[in-house]
Amino acid sequence: MTTLTAFPTTDPRGAKAVAIAADAGQWIKVRARDGAKYYGIRSSADSNVCYLVNRSTCTCADFFYGHECKHVLAVRLWCEMLEMGR
């Protein structure tokens, strides 16, 4: 049995990341000129704001101030689920 390791279970952002990942069908899929994949994830606080996110970076304020944000956690979770074939 494989376990998802995208985020620590003690992280309070984990539940929010799961909710965001559940809505992955609504994400904007973006490919940069260098081929890097990103996702556009709408802010939960302001529906007019969309963050550009991949497995290691995000344009939100939490990430800017050095926190591993719920958006990055959601992308990691989603990518891991895809790799598992779910």
For the entire predicted model, the pTM comes to 0.81
Burial class (CB in 10 A: 0-12, 13-18, 19+), 75: buried
Domain boundaries, the chain: 14-81
pLDDT, tens digit (0-9, with 9 covering 90-100), for 5-63: 555 556 678 889 999 999 999 999 999 999 999 999 999 899 999 999 999 999 999 99
Long-range contacts of 50-55 (CB under 8 A, 24+ apart): 55/79
Two tokens, residue 2: 């494989």
